Amino acid sequence: MSINKSVAEKLRNYLSNAYKDFNKDEKKYRCKIVNLELKDNDDVVLYVKISAVKSSVVSFSPEELVLSDKMLREFSSIDSRTITFFALQKEKGAILENHTHTICGQEFNNGKTIFITKKMGEQGERKQTAHELYSNAQLLNQFNRADTQNIMVTAIQEQVAEDFE
């Protein structure tokens, strides 16, 4: 598994910003991802703040968290998606490298990112929001790794922004 360093940095920045809002959500969810670390061997370590009698930060692998239904329920849906994404990356080995779709461009409309995509070997382009692409796992798997990560990070950031409005 090879995770783009810039994507890891974007997620780290997102988590840093999300941590600032953590106290607002602390009553809803006991756990919050507050940082992530990408090891040299491409393993991912998630740092999780657990609100209990004493708040503490504990490190977990995404695989540990995704296998525990009880623990996963303690995270927001955004954090659950992040955990699942990294766990699936390792399990699957990588997103398909034989991609059939590519991102040709981006537009912004009413605070939403519109991706302009094209299926290789066909004429015409298609416009879809980050959320629409993120919600369609089958289509998402048809993009290369960089495009997939771009779509996922954008969709997650837009969802966080929407949740806090």
Q: Which pTM value belongs to this model?
A: 0.46
The sign of the dihedral angle between the CA atoms of 157, 77, 12, 37 is negative
* pLDDT greater than 90 at residue 141: no
What pLDDT was estimated at residue 77? 83
Q: How confident is the model at residue 30 (pLDDT cuts 50, 70, 90)?
A: confident
- Contacts of residue 33, defined as CB under 8 A and 6 or more positions apart, other chains included, come to 15, 18, 46, 47, 48, 75, 79, 82, 83
Q: Which DSSP letter does residue 115 get?
A: E
Read off the pLDDT of residues 87-140 as tens digits, 9 standing for 90 and up. 887 655 544 456 889 999 999 998 899 999 999 888 999 999 998 998 888 888
CB 52 within 8 A of CB 59: no
Residue 64's CB: how many other CB atoms inside 10 A? Answer: 13
* pLDDT greater than 50 at residue 40: yes
What pLDDT was estimated at residue 165? 63
